[in-house]
Amino acid sequence: MPELPEVITIRNDLKKEILGKKIAGVWAQDKSKEKELNPAVIGTKIVGVGNRAKLLILKLSSQQYIAIHLNMTGVLLFNSADPYVRVSLKFNDVSTLNFSDTRMFGFLKLWSEQELKAYVSRYGKSVLDASLNGSKFAEILKKTNTGIKNALLDQKLISGVGNIYTNDALYLSDINPKKKTREITNKEYEALFKSLKEILLEGIKNRGSSIDRYKDIYGRQGSQQNFFRVYGKAGKKCGKCDTKIVFEKVQGRGTFYCPTCQS
């Protein structure tokens, strides 16, 4: 599933390619969606490209929004297509943005400002938000009493972080993924907050992790998978000690950690 680094990579590329363009038409595999979108968006201009956590947001000159969530297997392709394209946005310069999804878990929807606000209100702050620091981060997570990994994946608490980057951030800060949120010290929370920022910014620099279907809007893979600390490394030696990395399911999610460093 695309996480924050992948979404930000896509957002930044979309700003370069479609900001300021007019929508000339919409094709959709679902003809009812095509009928819904076409009259509402034809002739409108893309006046903003942003995101809230994993949600991509295209602001239209009509004061409506195209909201796109890639979920597990969605991709956006600029001027290219694959067999799984569900919706195509066609622009006045003949360029095209295609929303493709093999399993149809993601979505592309037209929302009013009120609908958008209602949806994003479910999300907590991102670790990369300037208004969030280590102490506020700790305060949010201490309100729960669950395993720290489970808490980090709860988008209502902290948004944008998924399974891949959580594994590596917990490893960098020497915190066991099963440790309870209220058992973690303020010093550990500061280290975890710092590690999460480091991992997410590194992921953005490397244009995301391509371990499944993720690719950027040009069809290129990211390279963050070449820099994983523990994710996908079960049975290999820890980079800090000689202990082998362990894999187990924690709250139903595949979890990798060093049983010595993260005891």
What domains lie within the chain, and their CATH numbers? 4-120 (3.20.190.10), 127-257 (1.10.8.50)
State the pLDDT at residue 243.
97
C-alpha–C-alpha distance, residues 124 and 106, integer Å: 20
Q: Longest Cα pair distance anywhere in the chain, in angstroms?
A: 62
State percent of the chain over pLDDT 70. Answer: 100
State the pLDDT at residue 211.
85
31, burial (CB in 10 Å: exposed 0-12, middle 13-18, buried 19+) = exposed
Query: Residues 67-112: pLDDT tens digits?
Result: 999 998 999 999 999 999 999 999 999 999 999 999 889 999 999 9
Name the pLDDT band for 212 (thresholds 50, 70, 90). Answer: confident
Name the pLDDT band for 213 (thresholds 50, 70, 90). Answer: confident
Q: How far is CA 206 from CA 35, 141, 161, 228, 230, in A?
A: 39, 28, 16, 11, 17
Catalytic residues: 2-3, 54, 253
State the pLDDT at residue 110.
97
More confident residue, 251 or 238: 238
Q: Work out the average pLDDT over 213-223.
A: 96
Name the pLDDT band for 20 (thresholds 50, 70, 90). Answer: very high
Q: Work out the average pLDDT over 172-197.
A: 97
Q: Work out the average pLDDT over 49-67.
A: 97
State the pLDDT at residue 106.
94
Please check whether residue 259 is in contact with residue 247, taking contact to mean a CB–CB distance below 8 angstroms: no
Name the pLDDT band for 181 (thresholds 50, 70, 90). Answer: very high
State percent of the chain over pLDDT 90. Answer: 95
Q: How far is CA 190 from CA 47, 133, 195, 229, 252, in A?
A: 38, 8, 9, 20, 27
State the pLDDT at residue 10.
98
pLDDT at 36 exceeding the cut of 80: yes
Name the pLDDT band for 188 (thresholds 50, 70, 90). Answer: very high
pTM: 0.95
Please check whether residue 45 is in contact with residue 21, taking contact to mean a CB–CB distance below 8 angstroms: yes
